[in-house]
Amino acid sequence: MTARRGSALSGPARAPGDKSMSHRALILGAMATGITEIDGLLEGDDVLATARAALAFGAGVERLGEGRWRVTGHGGFKQPSGVIDCGNAGTGVRLLMGAAAGYPVTAAFDGDASLRKRPMKRVADPLAGMGARFEWRGEADRLPLTLTGGGLSAIDHVQTVASAQIKSAILLAGLNAAGVTSVTEPVPSRDHTERMLRAFGAEVGVLPHGEGWRVTLRGGQALTGTPVSVPGDPSSAAFPLAAALVVPGSQVTVEGVMLNPLRTGLFETWREMGADLTVSNRRMAGGEEVGDLTARHSKLTGVVVPPGRAASMIDEYPVLAATAAFAGGATVMRGIGEMRVKESDRIALMAAGLQACGVAVEEEAEGFTVTGGPGNGSVRGGATVVTHGDHRIAMSHLILGLAAAEPVTVDEPGMIATSFPGFVELMRGLGADIASA
Ligand code: S3P
């Protein structure tokens, strides 16, 4: 798939449903008793894998219409038959393992080649500390694995890195553990699990702890099905907004974007870089603040991104790096070692892809610096970028191609559907020149 420099982008767009909330709505719906009707569910491959897992664990799962799903929970997970294949989804597999650990089931988990490379002990160790048993079917710390749950006791877990996936897995297991489970984070990570647990009727405590917080949950609380409205994903909205910032003459509005402050670090960073990015129509939807975001082509300047902001934009550094390539001066991104264990080693792949397109990048163990040249066409482009099947690496380089002097091609564009089905159609609707070949 190839992106070329063309005319200005304009128009309204709607981002697909938030991926984090979509996984959680399905999983909590399957753990609860009663009906959970979801609207705005992301119908990307990652979330569809979680929907199949919810079905395998005994919940009723029906698609009622576009983004409208009904989950009928029977108050817990049942013994599944067959392997729970989570595809490409780290969030799906880690949260499902946490949920399954609380029930007397034995479940085999697996995923695609990328997910099989990602660390699982970060979740398996605390869950084992609560009493779950793990058998590594291949290499230790990696999928495939078999989990046997049930009979858990609460733990107090202190995280060194803020990770919503680890926190959520422990809290979901803690729902069915004896005692009060707590997770302490050095800085707050996204709190969708806490918010959604409350919407399903559970009490969740939050106490300040240094720069971060301590989240507590009493075991034995029952969940009751509830309607969930999933707003637009800020991590996906970032791509059309980024395109508007770097393609001259553009103005794009993405409607209905979730603005949870633990997810909006990129927007803050772009504003510091001089981006003309405004929010209108702020409102509440699905227990989250939502707004319409408008980005206009802007003269950007490099900044030093505070490492403490990493948790609120960890998935957005690839697209930030793409826009930084068009900013005058250096954009310094540090304290982001976690990027190396996402769907791919995102620091290495962004550095390689940008360098192949003629951008100056300095890679470090836990970060990278992109030095841009301001103005349209200041980036050479003219490369085929290796994405290792990582959706965000692919989309970030396609955005780069929309303002680079020469076209940019990405391999494996099919993987974009894991988080953003309809990305290419949406971008073309705004006027982007993205061709399949
Ligand atoms: C997610 C948490 C983040 C993020 C991922 C989604 C979640 O991972 O990168 O895409 O929904 O909880 P970590 O918790 O491992 O940082």
**The predicted structure's pLDDT at residue 437:** 73
User: How do residues 251-272 score in pLDDT, each as one tens digit?
Assistant: 999 999 999 999 999 999 999 9
CB 423 within 8 A of CB 13: no
Using pLDDT thresholds of 50, 70 and 90, give the confidence band for residue 7.
Answer: very high
Q: CATH number of the domain at 2-16+231-435, out of 3.30.1330.100, 3.40.190.10, 1.25.40.10, 3.65.10.10? A: 3.65.10.10
Q: How many CB atoms lie within 10 A of CB 17?
A: 27
CA of 392 to the centre of ligand 1 (A): 13
What integer pLDDT is reported at residue 358 of this predicted model? 96
The pLDDT of residue 207 is 96
- For residue 351, the number of C-alpha atoms closer than 13 Å in the C-beta half-sphere is 18
Digit-coded pLDDT (tens) for 330-350: 999 999 999 999 999 999 999
Which is the closest atom of ligand 1 to the Cα of 164? 14
* Mutational pocket test of ligand 1: of 22, 26, 163, 313, the residue with most ligand atoms within 8 Å of the beta carbon: 163
**CA distance readout (Å), 331 to 234, 245, 281, 321, 362:** 21, 16, 31, 8, 10
204 lines ligand 1 (CB under 6 A): no
d(CA 115, CA 93): 9
Ligand 1 within 6 A of 170 CB? no
Please give the backbone phi and psi of residue 358, each rounded to the nearest 5 degrees, phi first. Answer: 90, 15
Q: In terms of CATH, what superfamily is 19-216?
A: Enolpyruvate transferase domain (3.65.10.10)
Q: Would you say 117 and 142 are in contact if contact means Cβ atoms under 8 Å apart?
A: yes
Rounded distance between C-alpha atoms, residue 225 and residue 302, angstroms? 46
Segments making up each domain of the chain, as ranges: 2-16+231-435, 19-216
Residue 247's φ and ψ, nearest 5 degrees, are -95, 120
Q: Do domains 2-16+231-435 and 19-216 have the same CATH topology?
A: yes
Write out the two tokens for 202. Answer: 């559970």
Encode pLDDT of 269-326 as tens digits. 999 999 999 999 999 987 899 999 999 999 999 999 999 999 999 999 999 999 999 9
Which two tokens mark 185?
Answer: 């984070």
Confidence of residue 373 (pLDDT cuts 50, 70, 90): confident
Please give the positions annotated as active site: 315
Average pLDDT over the chain reads: 97
Whole-model pTM? Answer: 0.97
**What secondary structure letter does DSSP report for 298?**
-
Which pLDDT score, from 0 to 100, does residue 375 have?
60
Atom of ligand 1 nearest to the CA of 24: 11
Ligand 1: centre distance to CA 404 (Å): 30
Nearest-CA residue for atom 9 of ligand 1: 315
pLDDT, tens digit (0-9, with 9 covering 90-100), for 179-216 = 999 999 999 999 999 999 999 999 999 999 999 999 99
Q: What pLDDT does 62 receive?
A: 98
